[in-house]
Amino acid sequence: MKTIKGPALFLAQFMGDEAPFNSLDNICRWAAGLGYKGVQIPTWESRLIDLQKAAKSKTYCDELKGKVAEHGLEITELSTHLQGQLVAVHPAYDTLFDGFAPESYHGNPKARTEWAVQQVKWAAQASRNMGLDAHVTFSGALLWPFMYPWPQRPAGLVETGFQELAARWRPILDVFEEYGVDACYELHPGEDIHDGDSFEQFLEALGGHRRACINYDPSHFVLQCLDYVQFIDFYHERIKAFHVKDAEFNPTGKQGVYGGFRPWLKRAGRFRSLGDGQVDFGAIFSKLSEYDYDSWAVLEWECCIKSPEQGAREGAIFIQDHIIEVTEKAFDDFAGGEADEEGNRKVLGL
């Protein structure tokens, strides 16, 4: 068994115009002061990274790693959640998702997709230049408007959707293969791959591409009423990244899984700060340790009640307390003896 690394912090939800959230130095100093050992960097945030430069220059990446290391931190992974989303967008969402791309691509879905594909490919190169083996992203979605089968879906629609999604991602994943980096999809409502079954459909359409992996986030599974612990039994070989995020699902006589028209505070399913929701992190950390997951446990803060500052402050302690220093010996070793074939046969009466 191996020991999980952490705690680490995904910086996306914390960046802002005021110190200490307005620069790489400031936010790293702040995170280190809370006890974090790593940071996950959103690559669309220009105050943190120049993605194109990171893809082209190992020297730049070494300098960036050095700046982070000055605060006693490591870069855990790079993220292209926003760019990955734009690899596949159903036209119903074109206007909403234009905000994820530079203004020059607004109103031009084809050019926006080409930009997004290049961004994710650069992330593969940048990850290798930084010595990282995993990257976190979204898959995008063509089928999400048809998630509930009413009106009745035309025969073959789902298969065609996954074939197209795979066709868009296969050349990107080939770049990840070239640079020896796993692309870890966060299975998330709103993405075509949002649970284990849809991940398998995607993987099948990809021909089992070995770089198509998972960023495990149990909060999204709580909101889907999915067994998030057994999920690890099924997919542990593909889990290469871990977002530590809590959630709760409190259905009522008025609202259940589909209560998405209410604001977050009034939904049956909502995200919470670590320890305030229903996720059994003790079981998760045990299960991941059992399966030799030895990468990072990264806090992603999303809460409709608690402030991000308090969530981050408490989250570092929460993750540290859940990391298991795995044993290298069995508890009953003291009572054992040295094994040998002759002795074993004698015990068996042979």
Predicted confidence (pLDDT) at residue 264 exceeds the cutoff of 70: yes
pTM here? 0.95
Predicted confidence (pLDDT) at residue 247 exceeds the cutoff of 70: yes
Mean pLDDT score of the chain, rounded to an integer?
96
The residue extents of the domains of the chain are 5-347
Helices (H), the chain: 24-33, 51-56, 58-69, 81-85, 94-97, 109-129, 157-179, 196-205, 218-222, 228-235, 281-290, 308-322, 341-347
Task: Label residue 262 by pLDDT band (50, 70, 90).
Answer: very high
Angstrom distance (rounded) from CA 67 to CA 75: 10
Tens of pLDDT, residues 296-347:
999 999 999 999 999 999 999 999 999 999 988 777 666 676 778 888 888 8
Angstrom distance (rounded) from CA 278 to CA 219: 9
> Residue 259: what pLDDT?
85
Q: Would you give the DSSP letter of residue 275?
A: T
Tens of pLDDT, residues 269-298:
999 999 999 999 999 999 999 999 999 999
Instruction: Calculate what percentage of the chain has a pLDDT beyond 70.
Output: 98
* Region 39-49 average pLDDT: 98
Domain 5-347 homologous superfamily, CATH? Divalent-metal-dependent TIM barrel enzymes (3.20.20.150)
* Region 133-148 average pLDDT: 97
Return the minimum-mean-pLDDT range out of 212-221, 254-263, 323-332: 323-332
